[in-house]
Structure 1
Amino acid sequence: MTLFLGIALIHFFALLSPGPDFFFVSQSAIRQSRSHAMFAALGISLSILVWAICAISGLHFLFQKIAWLQQALVILGGLYLFYLGIQLFKSAFNKQASVQQLSTAIPKSKITLLLQGFFTNMANPKALVYFSSVFSLAINADMPLTTQSSLLALIWLESLIWFALVAYLFSWHKMNAAYQRLSKWIDGLTGGIFISFGCYLILNRD
């Protein structure tokens, strides 16, 4: 029980730190709908589950043996976040579009949002560092299979509940009304955040 509580607390505080995942879910909620944002949250939680499985399987030791692999994943993640930021910037600076057009400028299916949520988390620098270091050291492959499975279920459910809560809060009518008024600023700010994350990952070599 102590192990589960410790992992739950560590993961909870990791989730609280805002990053690309948080901004992607909140943006999906205010640009489209609560149900769309829930699919984005599901995609992110599934990606977190994949990271957790990799951590249990020895992600930390893999990166120690193949140092260039982590750098390659970081660069690819940076490029993906940069791409998402550019798409939001295009929406923000499309001065020909009306408010109504902006809200539907890039229609996305729920499956598209699920996949984008998945890849946004896979490209998230926080996820890469967290699961290859802190999380990898907290659990190991020597644990019984039942314990590993329970921990994976815990991490997945905790992540899904957190991002579902974000989706719920940001899909309130007042949030949508505020977005209609400030859509260009919100898109521009979110795009800038994504581009900043992407540039940092691509250019940072420390």
Structure 2
Amino acid sequence: MSWISLLITFGLVHVAALVAPGPDFALMLRAAVSGGRKYAFALALGLSSAIMLHTLTVTFAADVLQLYLPSLMLVLPWLAASWLGYLGISCLRAPIDTSAPTAASVSQLNLKNGWWTGFATNALNPKAYVYFFSVIAGMLPHQSPLGFKLALIGLFFLLALAWFGFLGWALNINRFRQQLIRRQWLILKFSGVVLLVFAALLLLQGYQRLLA
């Protein structure tokens, strides 16, 4: 298989993983009703930055990660569950305002929450570490040239940014967004429940790993 073909294969696998529903989508949905397009893009950039960090770590330090991954998996589920639980409760307790956010409130949200919320959500996700390690370490030849590794890191980042950026744009199309805002209560509750379900699953995973 040529390097181009391998890069395309990596890209297809990554796209399939990106579009699968998860806490990332719940956050993008929440952003559409509470933050606006700028906040959604900041969130998308944070999620994509964490994906780039995962790819960079596994691509250049797979051996080190393999050494520490078992210990890391004992801690990460608890940290991730705490973070997702906090986000879920925030959604459930969020005040409902059916008016569009002001420019000042959106700017404040961007500065305080956007990038860091996306980055922390993905960076703390233990399943992301397992996924990237399994896919990249399992498919990447040991003698891969530096140029290919850099291209892989750039590809994963750009695909993630394109997907989450598209979600942020699509969910904020004016007519569609007005419908979302009118159903803000339902969307925030739905997002909160989804995040809490993922938090509960991570707590269960953490507990099972302690017993193993």
Residue 98 of structure 1: CA displacement?
Answer: 5.1
The one-letter code sitting in structure 2 at the alignment partner of 1:43 is G
The one-letter code sitting in structure 2 at the alignment partner of 1:133 is S
**2:9 is equivalent to residue 9 of structure 1:** no
Which residue is equivalent to 2:201?
200
**2:172 is equivalent to residue 181 of structure 1:** no
* Preserved contact between residue 40 and residue 114 of structure 1 (Cα < 8 Å): yes
Structure 2 residues without counterparts, runs of 5 or longer: none
The one-letter code sitting in structure 1 at the alignment partner of 2:98 is V
Q: Count matched residues.
A: 200
Pair 1:82–1:59, CA change in 2 (3 A)? farther
Which residue is equivalent to 2:135?
134
Which residue is equivalent to 1:99?
98
What CA deviation, in whole Å up to 9, does each residue of 1:58-103 have, x standing for no partner?
4476345552211211221111111100110111xx5xx55349x6
Q: SS at 2:38's partner residue? A: helix
1-structure distance, mates of 2:109, 2:142: 38
Residue 116 of structure 1: CA displacement?
Answer: 0.6
Select the residue among 37, 51, 56 that pairs with 1:48: 51
**2:154 is equivalent to residue 153 of structure 1:** yes
TM-score w.r.t. structure 2 length? Answer: 0.84
What CA deviation, in whole Å up to 9, does each residue of 1:15-73 have, x standing for no partner?
11011112212321232211211111111100000000111134476345552211211
Which residue is equivalent to 1:79?
82
Which residue is equivalent to 2:110?
110
What CA deviation, in whole Å up to 9, does each residue of 1:166-190 have, x standing for no partner?
1111001123212232111111110
* Preserved contact between residue 46 and residue 118 of structure 1 (Cα < 8 Å): yes
Pair 1:98–1:6, CA change in 2 (3 A)? closer
Correspondence 1:59-78 to 2 at 5 A: 59=62, 62-65=65-68, 67-78=70-81
2-structure distance, mates of 1:126, 1:27: 22
CA RMSD after TM alignment: 2.3
Which residue is equivalent to 2:25?
22
TM-score w.r.t. structure 1 length? Answer: 0.87
The one-letter code sitting in structure 1 at the alignment partner of 2:171 is F
* Preserved contact between residue 33 and residue 184 of structure 2 (Cα < 8 Å): no
**2:173 is equivalent to residue 167 of structure 1:** no
Q: Give identity over the alignment, percent.
A: 28
2-structure distance, mates of 1:185, 1:87: 14
1-structure distance, mates of 2:63, 2:176: 40
* Preserved contact between residue 11 and residue 155 of structure 2 (Cα < 8 Å): yes
* Preserved contact between residue 58 and residue 137 of structure 2 (Cα < 8 Å): yes
